[in-house]
Amino acid sequence: MKLTLSSGNPLEHKCSVLVAGCFEKNLEAPFIAPFDQAFGGWLGSLSETGEFTGKLNKCVMIHTLGRVAPDRLLLVGLGKKGKLTGERMRQAAGSAVQVLRKAGLKNGVSILHMAGGELPDLLRAEMEGYLLGGYSFDHYKTDPDISGGVEELTILVNQGAEKTSENIVSETVMLCESVIIARELVDQPANVATPSFLAEKAVEVAGRYGLECRVMEGEEMEQNGMAALLAVAKGSCQPPRFIILEHRGGKEKDKPIVLVGKGVTFDSGGISLKPGKGMEMMKDDMAGGAAVIGTLTAAARMKIPVNLVGLIPAVENLPDGRAYKPGDLVKSMSGKTIEIVNTDAEGRMILCDALHYAQRYKPAALIDLATLTGACVVALGSFATGLMSNDDGLAKVLKKAGEASGERLWELPLWEEYGELMKSDIADMKNAGGPEAGTISAAWFLKQFVGKTRWAHLDIAGTAWEEKGRPYLPKGATGIGVRLLVEYLQGIVAGKTA
């Protein structure tokens, strides 16, 4: 979708549809009054009959029959006046673009942000809502009637504000296109998105946007002693890959932020096979890796002045004659020994070697993203990502970035006592605890491999995939993590963080 800027009187702007926001109850919105007059006060009646009351995300489309220049008016509820936030604006725009899409409209003009007085943050949120809400994954639909969705939206700003708003457009487009890179990778079926496919994509975006990229293959992983990662890979014919992406936006001596993303391109559970029902969903088990590729892309395109490293261990977890088994003993790259009790706890196996490997960069902060535990879905559902950290300061800034981006985090404790759940009789630890505190015991396991590095773990099991569809999160992959991490990195640049 293309976003363009224009200015002028909305009443006189010829277009197929004008999108305007209204606040709840009296549908108060100053720029709406002239429309109301042109129609002899219909807005009041709309709200009286309850057809449209301005409730957040509710929409109504009206044909204007030539009374004003736009052919149609799409009124979008913004909720209560005085409660308008960036998140609400994102949702309103997302709701609007989905209505346009369903109506088969290819383009439109928007004045949604004007309800909030054209603040840059609201303008940005509106654009995000449109770009993210308008996404759909239909590469494999062969029916030519399936529309490509909304093609162009024009944002109408005040006269003279076009120049200053141009920056906001280009930044938001770069950010949202990076989110969409992540979504596309996750939405791809697992017979397409294999570990080598992920690596090829990483090489491709690196070439396009000026990132450094190196891909390690099995032999080099072996030389590095990455036996935990390789143990998981053994059950699949698809060879593993270890993807290293680098963005050198900061000063030479600046320590990098290192991001690690779980890249299990399909998780059948392995020998500890998952039940068949819903197993197809496990193609999203590389959403952490996709988020890392998306974030590095955004950082490069937006020229964020930080040094950033992305590490993605990529494997497929399948049962096979060569597969690792419950009861096996694995010696990780760090030297710590692991007793396998469940081959479905594979994410931590690949992450533990990647987190250990990350130490060589002497990271200023180390953040991993992983669809790690079903327990996190039970605890937080799809409305928050689980956060666990060994550093309160890092946890705090990440939570703030979560609020600002709309990708919210909820912290769980990571007390030493949880290690009790992971004790093994024959090794330093087991790879899975019991049914209690599954999200925390997984994080405790990862913590054993980060040394003294400031580290945060984000369990995105519940947030990587949207089941029903929300205003700016259409059904399918959400691209979770990219907007959060870009917000976090921008916070560092603005000097807000330690």
Q: Based on the shown chain and the rule CB under 6 A, indicate whether residue 424 belongs to the binding site for ligand BES.
A: no
Specify the stretch interacting with ligand BES by CB under 6 A; choose among 52-60, 318-326, 361-369, 373-381.
373-381
Alpha-carbon distance of 460 to 480, in angstroms, equals 8
C-beta of residue 1 within 8 angstroms of C-beta of residue 152:
yes
Q: Site for ligand BES (CB under 6 A): which residue of 110, 373, 405, 448? A: 373
Q: Based on the shown chain and the rule CB under 6 A, indicate whether residue 257 belongs to the binding site for ligand BES.
A: no
Contact partners, residue 290, CB within 8 Å, separation at least 6: 181, 182, 183, 185, 186, 198, 261, 263, 477, 479
Percent helix, strand and coil across the chain, each to the nearest 5? 40, 20, 40
Q: How far is the CB of 320 from Zn ion (least distance, A)?
A: 15
Alpha-carbon distance of 229 to 264, in angstroms, equals 11
- Residue 373 binding result from ligand BES, Zn ion, none, given CB thresholds of 5 to 8 Å by partner type: ligand BES
Q: Which two three-digit tokens encode residue 349?
A: 């196996």
Alpha-carbon distance of 127 to 176, in angstroms, equals 9
Alpha-carbon distance of 25 to 46, in angstroms, equals 10
Catalytic: 141?
no
Active-site residue identified among 106, 214, 274, 399: 274
Of residues 442 through 461, those in contact with ligand BES by CB under 6 A are: 461
Alpha-carbon distance of 289 to 292, in angstroms, equals 5
C-beta of residue 88 within 8 angstroms of C-beta of residue 78:
yes
C-beta of residue 333 within 8 angstroms of C-beta of residue 356:
yes
Contact partners, residue 369, CB within 8 Å, separation at least 6: 259, 260, 261, 262, 287, 288, 291, 292, 458, 460, 480, 481
For β-strands 476-477 and 465-466, DSSP reports them as antiparallel
Minimal CB distance residue for ligand BES: 374
Q: Site for ligand BES (CB under 6 A): which residue of 126, 246, 316, 344? A: 344
**Is the CB of 24 or the CB of 344 nearer to Zn ion?**
344
**Is the CB of 17 or the CB of 375 nearer to ligand BES?**
375
Specify the stretch interacting with ligand BES by CB under 6 A; choose among 342-350, 361-369, 448-456, 477-485.
342-350
Q: How far is the CB of 467 from Zn ion (least distance, A)?
A: 18
Catalytic: 83?
no
Of residues 275 through 294, those in contact with ligand BES by CB under 6 A are: 285
Buried b (16+ CB within 10 A) or exposed e, 194-209: bbbbbbebbbebbeeb
Q: Site for ligand BES (CB under 6 A): which residue of 24, 87, 246, 267? A: 267
Q: How far is CA 427 from the centre of its chain?
A: 36
**Is the CB of 87 or the CB of 285 nearer to Zn ion?**
285
Active-site residue identified among 183, 262, 348, 483: 348
- Residue 422 binding result from ligand BES, Zn ion, none, given CB thresholds of 5 to 8 Å by partner type: none
Q: How far is the CB of 362 from ligand BES (least distance, A)?
A: 29
Q: Site for ligand BES (CB under 6 A): which residue of 305, 319, 326, 374? A: 374
**Is the CB of 58 or the CB of 457 nearer to ligand BES?**
457
- Residue 458 binding result from Zn ion, ligand BES, none, given CB thresholds of 5 to 8 Å by partner type: none
Alpha-carbon distance of 309 to 211, in angstroms, equals 10
Q: How many residues does the structure list for the chain?
A: 498
Token match 């950290």: residue? 389
- Residue 438 binding result from ligand BES, Zn ion, none, given CB thresholds of 5 to 8 Å by partner type: ligand BES
How distant, in Å, are the alpha carbons of 112, 233, 305, 491 from that of 495? 32, 41, 12, 6
Q: Based on the shown chain and the rule CB under 6 A, indicate whether residue 368 belongs to the binding site for ligand BES.
A: no
Q: Based on the shown chain and the rule CB under 6 A, indicate whether residue 375 belongs to the binding site for ligand BES.
A: yes
Q: Site for ligand BES (CB under 6 A): which residue of 178, 194, 371, 463? A: 371
Name the site residues for Zn ion (rule: CB under 5 A): 264, 267, 285, 344, 346-347
Residues in the site for ligand BES, rule: CB under 6 A?
Answer: 267, 285, 342, 344-347, 371-375, 377, 432, 438, 461
Q: Could you list the active site residues?
A: 274, 348
